[in-house]
Each structure stands twice: as C-alpha cells, then as structure tokens.
Amino acid sequence: MNREFWLQRWAQGEIGFHQPEVNFYLQRYWHVLGVPAGASVLVTLCGKSRDMMWLRAQGHPVFGIEISRYAAEQFFEENALQAHCEHRPPFLHYSAAGVSLLVGDIFDLQPSAIGVVDAVYDRASLVALPPAMRLCYAERLTALLRPGGSMLLITFEYDQQQMPGPPFAVPESEVNALYRGAFQLEILCTADVLTLYPCLHARGLTGLQERVYRLVRRG
C-alpha cells in the first residue's frame, strides 16, 4: 500500500474505515491503560478519526500522523476547530487547541518532530499496512513512545486467503513477534465481529475477529 493508494482512496471518498462514532474499544478500555490527563497521545495513521476528539476531551494533548492533507483538513473542518498550518519539512504541521496533525509519511516521523509521547493509540493502522512494512512501523512507534508508556492496539484476524487487505489480518503471533522485544503485552478483549462489518462479509470473509491489546513499553 503506497502513498498513492491512500491518497486516491481519500480523493475518491473510499473511506469505509472511517467510523462516524468514537470507537467502542477506545471508550471501554482506555482507562485500563491508566494514562493520566495531560499525558500526550500519538494517534497513528489517524485519518480524520473522531477518536482524536475523544482523547482530547480526556485531557490529552493529541498528535496525529496522516499522509492525506485532505483528511487532515476535513478533520478540522468537521470538528469546527480553527487550525494553524506550518510547513516544517518533511511535514505540514496543523495545530489547533489540543490537537496537532502532521501530514506526511509516518516512516519519516522522528522523535525530534513531536518529542517522545506518553501513549499511542492504533486503530486500523497496523492492519492497514502490508506485511513487509509492519516491522519498520513497529520500530518507529517503539522509538516514539517513552519507556513506561502504553499503547492501545486494535487488530483484525481472519483467514487472509479469503480476502486481500487492507485491512489485513494481523494474528496474535505477529503482534507478539513485532512488539514483545520492547513491550509487555496483554490481550484485553477478543470479539467475533463479522456482523458489524457487512462490507468485509461481502468481500468474502466467513469469520472476523477484533482483538484489543494493551502494550507497555519496557524501561
């Protein structure tokens, strides 16, 4: 999945991944992470997710990273936030009260751009990436999260033979392989969710699970 694939999806309005409501698991499990108000949160591959507004309302300074400028502009417009935009190569940096969105490639994101963050929220992000990109992505997040910091990760699991991604299936064994070197992992929830995603059923899936993880970065 290259940059052009996602820019085209946004340009054509093919954004079935976007949830009009705040994510259920975020609201249910964020408190389990124990991230205090005032602690910064990085929302990876953020699109125009309303989850950023929810995290902001919990008192977190929110950083989002997203390749599509169009998505970032829609986010501020739909949430009636006045954003200031600066070009700080390699990113366009949009900021409004409590929310900063960096428009650019997450693989260019260094701690020097936003500092290390206290927490990470990954919904529909790891599963948006093909297998060859995932290790590099996990290493990037590990570098951006402070030791002791937490991540809430939501994945999909299904038979990858039944449908090409995205979203891709990322099994528990792969999550472990990507993160266990630097994190303690705990599964918070596993749910059968095919009926909630009729579009994925229509693409050929006969089973679909969502899994929610809490990860804590080792010191």
Ligand X SMILES: C[S@@+](CC[C@H](N)C(=O)[O-])C[C@H]1O[C@@H](n2cnc3c(N)ncnc32)[C@H](O)[C@@H]1O
Binding residues for ligand X, rule: CB under 6 A, are 6, 17-18, 45-47, 49, 65-68, 71, 105-107, 123-125, 128
Consult the annotation and say whether 123 binds a ligand: yes
Asked if residue 81 lies in contact with residue 21, where contact means CB atoms within 8 angstroms, the answer is: no
Consult the annotation and say whether 180 binds a ligand: no
Consult the annotation and say whether 172 binds a ligand: no
Report the C-alpha gap between 209 and 44 in whole angstroms: 21
Q: Decide whether 7 or 116 has the Cβ nearer to ligand X.
A: 7
Q: Which two tokens stand for residue 29?
A: 């499990």
Smallest gap from Cβ 103 to ligand X, in A, equals 8
| 3-state DSSP assignment of residue 135 | helix
Smallest gap from Cβ 102 to ligand X, in A, equals 9
Q: Decide whether 22 or 32 has the Cβ nearer to ligand X.
A: 22
Strand residues in 75-157 grouped as ranges (E): 84-88, 91-96, 99-103, 117-123, 145-157
Consult the annotation and say whether 66 binds a ligand: yes
Report the C-alpha gap between 27 and 155 in whole angstroms: 16
Which residues carry a binding-site annotation?
10, 45, 66, 123
Which residues carry a binding-site annotation for S-adenosyl-L-methionine?
10, 45, 66, 123
